[in-house]
Amino acid sequence: MPQHERAPSSWPWPYPRWQRWLIELVSLAVILGLLALAVTTVRDSLRAQQIASGFGFLQREAGFAIAETPIAYSPADSYARALAVGLVNTVRVSLPALFGATVLGVLLAVALRSAQPLARRGARVYVECFRNTPLLLQLFLWYALLTTLLPPPRQAWQPLAAVFVSNRGLYLPVPLEPGPWLWALAVAVASLIAALRLRGRLLHTRRRGRLLAPLALFALPVLATLWLGGASAGLSQPVLRGFNFVGGTVLTPEFAALGLGLTLYSASYIAEIVRGGIDAVPAGQREAALAVGLTPVQALRLVLLPQAVRVALPPYAGQALSLIKNSSLAVAIGYPDLLSIASTTINQTGQAIEGIAIVMAAYLSVNLAVAGLIALWGRGR
């Protein structure tokens, strides 16, 4: 009669189950005890130095101005409002930089796999140069170029009507009533996602009119939102008065330098991630795609890249989170991000532990949200 061998235990010692549970409970108790000891020590130290603790300071008046305020803010507002402005500034520069780095990284990855020596070597030089120099030095470089090479406001460039470029920033016209336009932007994003999914199904079924239906699905909700919201055609245009522009909106050199630096730096890493994903696809896949009549571009878009995404998605998610965390270097060039405003808050209130805890919680929340969206997109493929 055959004897069944017992499966090897994953535990390093041949202890009974109750002893394993006991060891785990003791380990947990030790960890909790160390945490309690740390909290007690910090509390006693703060009391000895007569430093207040808690988050009540968030309701006090901030008393300092912020250079860039995408949401309403004045020095009379609370510290909580000031930190909210910093969080919005962090997200406002991180998400466009992530999108730009992704697009540029994919293009560089394709160039790295190109049969053209010039494109392949140029992409390799780009990747090695940007990947092997510190991001902080790149931010200093872009900020210095933007503030020294561009003209002053009185000699500002005007590439388009009501658009001005100077060393104070890029001045653009904005709607007088932004509310309906913001709703239209949200509807446009949702409609674009639905239109792309519809277009993919129509292409799969080879139905006629596959371009008109997605276009209507994208355009009609946006136009309806603007009409129902009563969007005004009036614009607030920048006008030169004295030594600077008034009216419209401005993208400051600090914002541009940070966004450009994050985009170009992260694109070099994303390029290598995508290239590795493409190399992981068996060579026979490309040969089979070419054998059935697909062009090299079609083979890349329809066969290679969809399979490369499965391999490249986990490291890409890590790089996306690194980009968001690297945005904290904004303090070096004067961009008022979350860390910069939190530092000012800590200096004024002395609530260092609470301030750092708020910053950590904010970055953790943003990173978890981005990681969740990337994972959700990966499961849907």
* pLDDT score for 199: 60
Burial of 148 (C-beta count, 10 Å sphere; 0-12/13-18/19+): exposed
pTM (2 decimals)? 0.79
Q: Which residue pairs from 145-151 have beta carbons closer than 8 angstroms and sit at least 24 positions apart in sequence?
A: 146/253, 146/256, 146/257, 147/253, 150/253
Helix axes 352-379, 305-326, angle to 10 degrees: 170
How many of the other CB atoms lie within 10 Å of CB of 379? 8
Q: Where are the domains of the chain?
A: 79-148+252-379
CATH topology for 79-148+252-379 is: MetI-like fold (1.10.3720)
From first to last of its 381 residues, the chain has per-residue pLDDT tens of: 455 555 555 545 555 677 778 888 899 999 999 999 988 887 778 777 777 777 888 999 999 999 888 888 999 999 999 999 999 999 999 999 999 999 999 999 999 988 889 999 999 999 999 999 999 999 999 999 999 998 888 888 888 888 888 888 888 877 766 666 666 666 666 666 666 666 656 555 555 445 555 555 555 555 555 555 544 456 677 888 877 787 777 889 999 999 999 999 999 999 999 999 988 888 888 788 888 888 888 888 888 888 888 889 999 999 999 999 999 999 999 999 999 999 999 999 888 888 999 999 999 999 999 999 888 887 766
**Could you tell me how far CA 114 lies from the centroid of its own chain?**
28
Rounded distance, CA 287 to CA 295, Å?
11
Rounded to 10 degrees, the C-alpha dihedral 46/49/53/59 comes to: -160
* pLDDT score for 14: 55
Of 98, 54, 107, 69, whose CA–CA distance to 278 is shortest?
107
DSSP sequence for 87-143: HHHHHHHHHHHHHHHHHHHHHHHHHHT-S-HHHHHHHHHHHHHHHTS-HHHHHHHHH
H or E element, residue 241: strand 239-241
Tokens of residue 224, six digits = 């309806």
